[in-house]
Structure 1
């Protein structure tokens, strides 16, 4: 970090990378050194949205500089993670175990948590207005709005139909609805899962869902089938998933790619029926899970933070919006180069943005970031697969580094898959604690 208190007065790119990506920024910043309060002038940051990105950013702002006043605005008292939700659908984890509170952020890290929603804002004055009548002043605003759905692209279905046809792509009640439908289905029935086109939250998520629904059916309703009507012709970790499907579930799962009739043309929620574009083939099923196309969350659109793509363009070095000054956008809503839209990526964004804001408050230059993404998926309770990637800021974008990271090997033995499944559970506990603990 140029200008930091190092022996030679500056940080080199190599030293920043050696610090370990976003997590290593704590060392790069030098911690909350004596005099930090005076240097930052007790600055105020408001963070809107308490998911993996927003909660992490709020926590790490306080870790990087305890003199910064941080307020987290979140409409819900608890947050249900989507990652881990498929485990609940399969029956080997309870939904409440995926619920996290903000008490540690308040009690242990000094974040002020306000349960409310933003109804107005003024970037020039540095103020947001809340539905409850309160106004919060800020020097920097961080928006972590998550996703919203493009219902206009799902012919025949809208948000009001999600009791009948759940998307289960936001944590909590939607997962309960889908689980109840799986439990109520007769043996011999068909479950259809309909993943959207890219980009969307958690690219491997629909295929872990397919896997774990198949596990539930194999255990309880073995004559049943899972039909995957996919808008795409390929998907994340495809070879590894398909290898696991064949090994664990035989012919229980049928995947239909977009070019061969997987693209949905119309949904009839009451009949749990979908018609596809290729020849308008009709599928009437017993449980229908349609995951709609996605875009940045509502508040980002209302604040004018999105572009024509529906997502939020940012300076990928600091995650500051390129259309609104003094505002940072993180998590799934941000356009972040090659980085996927995932909980782990959002966690990295939160740390990176906290470092960028504290650097600015202290009058330091922000180092070029090196970030990582690790994604574990369960094909079965004792069958795990993973992918990891490293991203470096180059030519104003976050680009994946060739030959860094990698995926689980094909044709690994059962012990290797079991070990990765256990790593998967450990990964969940570690990242949940890093975000909310």
Structure 2
């Protein structure tokens, strides 16, 4: 991918959260009876979608179903792990969304009946819908790595869902001895935010360099290549010489099993014992997607990229990390863009209009040290039943001076503020 000129990148970021797609929201004339749209999942995709639906047509009856009263964001959570940020800075409520007329239901959805167009909640309540949007995020596949289950994550945290696991990994780093080894086991794709493990390794190395300088970071990787690899490796050489080692798939880096009792990660080429082990298991769409019949045998949800409609179940749409989106990444920025585009498509379908062709924008920032970041921007459009990347995106230059890296770190913080305001009010 070509390098993206910094001025262009700032323009992309500045408009991202305010208008994550090239779509103009349609004005939908209110019809009687009012159409009911239920959204399951209150992350970046679901919350954005619920808000957008009410902005498009205030007469729509929109319900957001989310069991957690507080959302904890994954972007910037690696800074929490490295002791650079408090977890509270990652947390957002739903009061403002409710104040905009969205019914916010703090319940778990336990059943979906597509023929009957109903959702059953944990307390037994049944809600009816005309259109259902699933935004369940990811579930971790605790059956995919021998030895690693939910109990093992209390000893070898994944921290791939922000919250308690984030603070657990942070406490483990604080408690480890100087000279210890921190191991990150990284899964193959598809995975939530593919560059994030390497950002995490960088920020852990920053913490170790400043507090436990004899320590090391070892990345055991189930992939040979990863996004912005040259930028990461250049930063590691510049900032953390000798502290970070990565073993790729072809070098024997794929974890084949773990032993939580000894903090050991086993690969085909040998065993590695850590003082702190961060095991990121393979993933799949959140459980309600499977319950609804929207997930296929890959564990993810195939969709029509124009409407985000499930290819498996009628009157259901899937957005965010759970969907099979082709070239579009599983990231907060992409989820926010999908939420808006899906809301526009649903409103058009309800009104009997043809959906517009979406063009989504995604941007990903990676912070490798305080004041040192780089980014990746992309534009995506439907083609041959999937999203493909189209002209206009790019990545930070490999040889950019430090002042550019510092400016991108500032841009990253502005982006986080903008996207959280846009998603959660």
Give TM class, smaller chain. Answer: over 0.9
In 2, distance between residues paired with 1:22 and 1:68?
22
Q: Tell me what 2:249 maps to.
A: 258
Instruction: Say yes or no: does 1:245 pair with 2:236.
Output: yes
Specify which of 416, 419, 435 is matched with residue 404 of structure 2: 416
Please state how far the C-alpha of 1:393 moved relative to its aligned partner.
1.5
The gaps in structure 2 that reach 5 residues or longer are: 1-17
Alignment length (residue pairs): 408
Indicate which of 48, 57, 62 corresponds to 2:49: 57
Question: CA offset at residue 195 of structure 1?
Answer: 0.8
Q: CA deviation at 1:133?
A: 2.2
Q: Give the alignment of 1:211-222 within 5 angstroms.
A: 211-222=202-213
Matches within 5 A, 1:38-437: 38=31, 41-107=33-99, 109-278=100-269, 281-402=270-391, 404-437=392-425
The CA distance in 1 between the partners of 2:22 and 2:273, in whole Å, is 51
Query: In the TM superposition, what is the alpha-carbon distance from 1:340 to its structure 2 partner?
Result: 0.8
Shift of 1:125: 2.0
Quote the Cα distance in structure 2 between the aligned partners of 1:46 and 1:394: 28
Secondary structure of the residue aligned to 1:155 is: coil
Mapped partners of 2:180, 2:147: distance in 1: 23
Contact 2:158–2:165 under 8 Å retained in 1: yes
Per the TM alignment, residue 21 of structure 1 is displaced from its structure 2 partner at its CA by: 7.3
Distance (Å, rounded) in 2 between the aligned partners of 1:127 and 1:53? 21
Q: C-alpha deviations, 1:295-332, integer Å up to 9, x for none?
A: 11111112211111110011111111011000011111
Native 8 Å contact 2:53 2:60 kept in 1: yes
Question: Take 1:137 and 1:22, find their aligned partners in 2: how far apart are those partners?
Answer: 30
**Which secondary structure does the structure 1 equivalent of 2:231 belong to?**
helix
What is the CA-CA distance between 1:41 and the residue it aligns to? 3.9
Q: Write the deviation string for residues 70-112 of structure 1: whole angstroms up to 9, x where unpaired.
A: 11111111010111100111111100110000011011x2111
RMSD over aligned Cα atoms: 1.3
Larger radius of gyration: 1
TM-score normalised over the length of structure 1: 0.91
Question: 2: distance between equivalents of 1:436 and 1:21?
Answer: 15
TM value normalised by structure 2 = 0.94
Partner Cα separation in structure 1 for residue 71 and residue 152 of structure 2 = 23
Partners of 1:401 and 1:157 in 2: CA distance: 39
Residues 25-56 of structure 1: CA deviation (Å, up to 9, x unaligned) = 3x351x46xxx223x74111111111111111
Runs (5+) with no aligned partner, structure 1: 1-19
Contact 1:22 1:369 (8 Å CA) reproduced:
no
Checking the alignment, whether the CA contact within 8 Å between 2:22 and 2:359 is kept in structure 1 is: no
Q: CA deviation at 1:24?
A: 3.9
> What's the CA shift for 1:121?
2.4
Give the structure 1 partner of residue 5 of structure 2.
Answer: none
Checking the alignment, whether the CA contact within 8 Å between 1:71 and 1:111 is kept in structure 2 is yes
Equivalents in 2 of 1:41, 1:400: separation in Å? 39
In the aligned structure 2, how far is the partner of 1:22 from the partner of 1:418?
24
3-state secondary structure, aligned to 2:302: strand
> In the alignment, what sits opposite 1:37?
30
